[in-house]
Structure 1
Amino acid sequence: MGAQDGPTLIASVQRALRLLEAVSAHENGAPAKQLARETGLPLATAYHLLRTLVHDGYVRKLYDGGFILGDKVESLYSAGHAQTLLSRVRPALAALRDELAAATYLTFYEDGEIRVAEIVDGPRTPRVDLWVGFEDAGHATALGKSVLRELDEDARRDYLSRHHLPDLTPRTITSVPELLRRIESSPSASAVTDLEEYALGSVCIAVPVYCGQILGSLGVSLPVERQAQLPEIPASLLPVANRVSRSLSLTI
């Protein structure tokens, strides 16, 4: 990089951001000449930057020649909003980790998939090796089974129709009827467990959480040597799940 490339690049970024701000002020779109005038940019510079922003999805050009914000900006906003929400519950997850000396996990069921939203672990509380993505292991994790148990019958049937139940360990349930029998066998139970079904040497327990209408689960993982402690954990897990649900639901 040459000596002058840095300042030139910074100036280009600043001009592009000024253009985005100007575009955002016009809900129905504004032409390049107007945007150039409002930002104080030469028309040629505005055209060049607008073409780049359109190409990258940050701006969209309308049929009448006006420019509006593109889908990429909405994606950035959504991601930033999600990060803000998670930042509000992360202290509660960290406190739960420290109280139980166990890695803590938060998942949500979005777009038909069970996805990990947050993991809070530490040197003394390592996470389970996520050697298979949770999207393909909902049947084998307490976090996934907690979500499946809370889904209505149609949503659960839809999920299971789209997901094979791979054999991850000798203890993994790979039969849909058996999986349903297990998760429905104790409807009044507050928590769901995974006893080395996802990874040998690890057990997990999880309870439901909500972000508005979005279902999720909150859980912790333990070495199998601590399996006898599982019945005691819901007493700590449930109050935190309730706080997390309230915090997420009140801020969406």
Structure 2
Amino acid sequence: MALKPEPTAPFQSVQYALRVLECVARHGGGVVGTQIARETGVPSGRLSPMLLMLRREGYVEQVADGAYVMGESLVLLGSGDDRRQALEDKLQRTLSEIRDSVGAAVYISRYIDGEVKITQYADGPRAPKVNEWVDFRSAAHASAVGKCLLTQLDHNGRRDHLSRHKTARLTSRTITSEKVLFTKLDNQPPTVPVLDLQEYAVGTVCAAVPITAGQAVGCLALSLPIEHAHRLRKAADALNRKAAPVLLSLAI
């Protein structure tokens, strides 16, 4: 079952978005699109969809004369004491939107203090979450989430992780050879979703894309029951395209 989702570049999108937001923030009274393009250098073909995304996410608002000003989300995420709760609420809304859009349970996972942790997720009756039959902290070698996080660690970081969590066989598809696993991780293109085709659990397929913000290692993932495996490629492509708003929230 060879699945090779088309690569996209959420990181470049976020770099452009941050430039746009910095420009809007500099112009407290509002700034029009042509001036944003001139000051940021964002290609014209990318600027219009970028501004649409930023409006949809509440980072900018367009006022009566067509100029752009800072939106409520940007104000909330930039305000000290309330930032953590505002970020969590923003990410939860985004996850719910992605769940409904791709028709799958979606997750944000972070690598914190040497462990794999699911920090937020959105599931539902039509998008059941994975049954965590083995602690995700012990299954990084098998799950899409874990492998995606491991790809973002250096060689020593991976070795340290696997010295604490052995590569146990969870299904007949689980990679238990550290050498084979490291080779696959090394060959994983950073802009292509990492897949789990029943490696963690029989009956479930998953995909994950990195959402690294600064020094924090993280990923955005989805899971599907095996009867929906035919949708995995399309869902993984959509997940990759939708990673930019999540990454942007973490980067602000």
- Is 1:216 matched with 2:218? yes
Q: TM-score of the superposition, structure 2-length normalised?
A: 0.63
Which residue does the alignment assign to 2:179? 177
Partners of 1:212 and 1:248 within 8 A in 2? no
Which residue does the alignment assign to 1:43? none
- Is 1:198 matched with 2:218? no
Query: 1:83: Cα distance to partner?
Result: 4.6
Which residue does the alignment assign to 1:76? none
Which residue does the alignment assign to 2:164? 162
Structure 2 distance, partners of 1:245, 1:193, is 20
Q: TM-score of the superposition, structure 1-length normalised?
A: 0.63
1:54-86 CA deviation, whole Å, 9 max, x = no partner?
A: xxxxxxxxxxxxxxxxxxxxxxxxxx9655422
Q: Which has the higher contact order (CA 8 A, sep 6+)?
A: 2
Query: 1:241: Cα distance to partner?
Result: 1.6
- Choose which of 146, 149, 155 in structure 1 pairs with 2:148: 146
Query: 1:189: Cα distance to partner?
Result: 5.1
Query: 1:159: Cα distance to partner?
Result: 1.3
Structure 2 distance, partners of 1:197, 1:138, is 11
Query: 1:186: Cα distance to partner?
Result: 3.6
1:40-51 aligned at under 5 Å gives the runs none
Which residue does the alignment assign to 1:122? 124
- Choose which of 133, 136, 150 in structure 2 pairs with 1:134: 136
Partners of 1:183 and 1:192 within 8 A in 2? no
Q: Percent identity?
A: 42
Partners of 1:92 and 1:240 within 8 A in 2? no
Please, what is the CA RMSD of the aligned residues?
1.8
Q: 1:146 to 1:95 in 2, by over 3 A?
A: same
> How many residues get paired?
171
Structure 1 distance, partners of 2:155, 2:222, is 26
- Is 1:239 matched with 2:246? no
Amino acid across the alignment from 1:200: V
Query: 1:230: Cα distance to partner?
Result: 2.1
Partners of 1:138 and 1:144 within 8 A in 2? yes
Which structure has the greater CA radius of gyration? Answer: 1
1:151-180 CA deviation, whole Å, 9 max, x = no partner?
A: 122212221222111211121111111111
Match of 1:237, SS state, is helix
Query: 1:125: Cα distance to partner?
Result: 0.9
Structure 2 distance, partners of 1:227, 1:233, is 10
